[in-house]
């Protein structure tokens, strides 16, 4: 049976914005960190550097993922985005380590800080990051975009922390808060990287998607009239947008036409109930084994 695969069109506008904005914020934060003697700003500027690389890789992955399958890459290139998301998660961990290395010496020697510069730069960063995050949330839910979005939300949280810290330093003169904020930013970065890596590794290991329960899927298939039993059930995903299933189904004796009707019914149920777009069934009976793909 022929397959009709529909590939959602992606638009790079949000990712292009996510590339340009961190570059601008990085330049502003480096200047502000030097002028205001703020380790927190310089730490976040280092994070912005990886955001630029992250967005560039995400933009490449999204465009590459839209390429048509080839004879060699028969499933297409959706896994490019997952590989990029994995690399982004690892980059986040590297950035967190760099932030910690820069912040720890300042715990003993905080140094003077200019809170006015910190606050001004933080406000600019927050406004730009809100603009980027809005576009990313509206542009899709694939893991690649989620990785970029987590970068942006982490930046926003860091900018908010810097803004609050600037106010506290201005009121109390407690300059030790600046390196403490840097360490808090590092924790946020690690948490974001963990979420991305956990999801990416699950897909690369061809784990059952987190939102699906194999036993629930199995029960739904067994409820269909004519299905006596099933085994070798496998559920995995190419990316977060395309879930696949294969299994062997033991059926009552029926004609080829009846078995084909059963296959189509099972496929519709899987797509409607669980969002599984591509199912391959090996139909087995007492006398024959029929392999069918929907």
- Give all strands (DSSP E) within the chain, no chain letters: 227-239, 242-251, 278-284, 289-293
- Domain 13-204 is found in CATH 1.10.420.10: no
Distance CA(79)–CA(75), nearest Å, equals 9
**Is the distance from CB of 132 to CB of 18 less than 8 angstroms?**
yes
- Domain 214-293 is found in CATH 3.40.50.1100: no
pLDDT in tens, 218-263: 999 999 988 999 999 999 988 766 899 999 999 888 888 888 899 9
pLDDT at 75: 75
Instruction: Choose between 33 and 12: higher pLDDT.
Output: 33
CATH 3.30.70.1350 domain residues, the chain: 214-293
**Parallel, antiparallel or unpaired: strands 242-251 and 278-284:** parallel
CATH 1.20.1510.10 domain residues, the chain: 13-204
Query: What's the predicted TM-score (pTM) here?
Result: 0.65
pLDDT at 230: 92
pLDDT in tens, 102-128: 778 877 776 667 778 778 888 888 888
Residue 271 pLDDT exceeds 60: yes
Structure tokens at 145: 């975009």
- Of the candidates 281, 268, 277, 214, which has an alpha carbon nearest to the alpha carbon of residue 240? 277
**Residue found under tokens 């003077």:** 112
Our separate counts of H helices and E strands in the chain read 8, 4
């Amino acid at each position: 049976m022929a397959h009709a695969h529909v590939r959602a069109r992606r638009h790079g506008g949000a990712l292009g914005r996510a590339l340009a904005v961190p570059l601008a914020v990085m330049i502003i934060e480096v200047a502000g960190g030097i002028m205001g003697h703020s380790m927190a700003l310089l730490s976040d500027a280092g994070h912005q550097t990886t955001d630029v690389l992250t967005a560039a890789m995400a933009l490449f992955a999204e465009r590459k993922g839209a390429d048509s399958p080839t004879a060699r890459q028969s499933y297409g290139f959706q896994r490019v985005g997952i590989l990029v998301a994995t690399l982004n998660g690892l980059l986040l961990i590297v950035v967190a380590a760099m932030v910690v290395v820069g912040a720890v010496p300042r715990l003993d020697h905080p140094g003077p800080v200019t809170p006015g510069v910190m606050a001004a730069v933080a406000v600019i960063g927050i406004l730009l990051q809100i603009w980027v995050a809005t576009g990313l949330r509206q542009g899709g839910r694939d893991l690649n975009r989620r990785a970029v979005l987590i970068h942006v939300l982490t930046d926003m949280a860091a900018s908010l922390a810097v803004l609050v810290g600037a106010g506290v330093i201005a009121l109390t003169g407690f300059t030790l808060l600046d390196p403490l904020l840097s360490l808090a930013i590092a924790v946020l970065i690690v948490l974001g990287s963990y979420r991305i890596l956990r999801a990416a590794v699950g897909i690369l290991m061809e784990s059952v998607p987190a939102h699906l329960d194999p036993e629930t899927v199995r029960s739904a298939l067994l409820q269909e009239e004519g299905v006596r039993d099933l085994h070798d059930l496998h559920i995995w995903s190419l990316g977060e947008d395309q879930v696949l299933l294969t299994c062997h189904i033991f059926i009552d004796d029926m004609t080829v036409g009846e078995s084909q009707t059963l296959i189509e019914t099972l496929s519709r149920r899987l797509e409607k109930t669980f969002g599984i777009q591509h199912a391959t069934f090996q139909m087995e009976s007492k006398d024959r084994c029929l392999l069918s793909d929907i």
